[in-house]
Amino acid sequence: MRIGLIGYGSIGRRHCQNLLELGYNDITLLRTNGKTNEYGLDEKYDINVFLKTPFDFIIISNPTALHYKFLSELLPNNMNVLVEKPIACNYNEAGSLSNLILKYEGIGMSAYNLRFHPCIQKVNELIKIGNIGKIYTARFFVGQYLPDWRPHVDYRDSYSSKKSLGGGVVLDLIHEIDLALFFCGDVKSNFHSIVGKLSNLEIETEDIAEIHYQSMNNSIVSIHLDYLTQGYSRWFELIGENYRIHCDLFSSEVKVIGEKNKNESLYSYKEFNRNDMYLSLIKYYVDCIKLNIKPKPSLADGLSSLNLALKTKSFLEEK
């Protein structure tokens, strides 16, 4: 397969390494910063030259603020596209993408790698079995102190700290928004968010957000996102008619809890390697192309999570 890769930062390198590990070595990079790469792969520096290659699919893994620029060129030509989350960063881009996606006939996917975490897949399986019953309420939490995220990068220079690059907790930590939509459905009513910057971190962007709404499934949903939690915490809990499911994505464990706090089941994935999510994502997407199957999460799913994120941020902009 011929593969194009737009953006060769940390996530672009990860995708590249995984493709090579899977035996796909016909990869062309589109670079805007830097030249040459450790794998000796072909590089192009102009989008028009880059697109002359008949790629089987293209991965967009450059900064969030540039995603729309390339999607707007690729989607009208029905090119197969895997785009990193979030797929864009403002309402104008989201509106334009909505029209493009309606007409799009390629195989497009939003790269929400967390959907390929074994804990997420186990929870989805438990919900589908139906033992939990109706989900009454769901709480999603993610927090990590921003200066600790990337030990070799000054957090003040990262995209997380820059408005122009699409940073801030709402877009940066959009995985939790995607998971809330995935498990509980879209917003129905009572939407509210509190978004702001509370800390002394030297950033232009918001460092905390709380989101609340009632979903189309009539679940009460709350989502917490922050750059402030010392250490790292990522978990969610679903309160169901019959059981409570607690999923800890830091310890890679899923607990099913019943009456009188009894642990009904424990699923542990202690041997889980973070890169396994990205490998599984790439394998799945390549299989979708080979079999001509529409993947999930789709570009439309990515647009839904983006719209909810932008709705959340609008409360910050109203202040």
Looking at the structure, do residues 133 and 159 belong to the same domain, yes or no?
yes
The pLDDT value given to residue 312: 94
Cα–Cα separations (whole angstroms), residue 135 to 56, 142, 212, 237: 40, 20, 15, 10
Please count the other Cβ atoms lying within 10 Å of the Cβ belonging to residue 125: 11
138 and 103 in one domain?
no
| Whether the Cβ atoms of residue 235 and residue 249 lie closer than 8 Å to each other | yes
Q: What is the 3-state secondary structure (H, E, C) of the chain?
A: CCEEEECCCHHHHHHHHHHHHCCCCCEEEECCCCCCCCCCCEEECCHHHHCCCCCCEEEECCCHHHHHHHHHHHHHHCCCEEEECCCCCCHHHHHHHHHHHHHCCCCEEEECHHHHCHHHHHHHHHHHHCCCCCEEEEEEEEEECHHHCCCCCCHHHCHHHCHHHCCCHHHHCCHHHHHHHHHHCCEEEEEEEEEECCCCCCCCCCCEEEEEEEECCCCEEEEEEECCCCCEEEEEEEEECCCEEEEECCCCEEEEECHHHCEEEEEECCCCCHHHHHHHHHHHHHHHHHHCCCCCCEHHHHHHHHHHHHHHHHHHHCC
* Same domain? 51 vs 94: yes
Last residue within a domain, chosen from 113, 134, 161: 113
Q: Which residues contact 192 (CB under 8 A, 6 or more apart)?
A: 211, 212, 213, 315
- 25: in domain: yes
Question: Rounded CA gap, 256 and 244, in Å?
Answer: 6
pLDDT of residue 319: 47
Q: What is the pLDDT of residues 24-36, one digit of tens each?
A: 999 999 998 778 8
| Model pLDDT, residue 34 | 75
Site of tokens 């699919």: 57
Closest residue by Cα to residue 13 from 299, 278, 271: 278
How high is the mean pLDDT of the chain? 94
At a CB cut-off of 8 Å and minimum separation 6, what does 290 contact?
none
- Amino acid residing at 136: Y
Domain harbouring 61, CATH code: 3.40.50.720
Tell whether 70 and 218 lie within a shared domain: no
158 is a domain residue: yes
Q: Do 109 and 179 fall within a single domain?
A: no
pTM for this model (two decimals): 0.94
- Phi first, then psi, for residue 178 (nearest 5°) are -60, -45
Residue 106 belongs to what domain range? 3-113
Same-domain check for residues 59 and 124: no
Domain boundary among 113, 148, 170: 113
The reported pLDDT for the residue numbered 118 is 97
End-of-domain residue from the set 113, 133, 156: 113
Residue type, 311: K
Which residues in the chain come in under a pLDDT of 50? 319
| Residue 306 sits in the same domain as residue 190 | yes
- Pair (125, 79) in one structural domain: no
Distances (CA, A) of 110 to 74, 190, 316: 14, 27, 26
Does residue 143 share a domain with residue 93?
no
Q: What is the pLDDT of residue 317?
A: 54
Residue 277, in any domain of the structure: no
Q: Structural domain tally of the chain? A: 2
What's the pLDDT tens digit per position in 76-103? 999 999 999 999 999 999 999 999 999 9
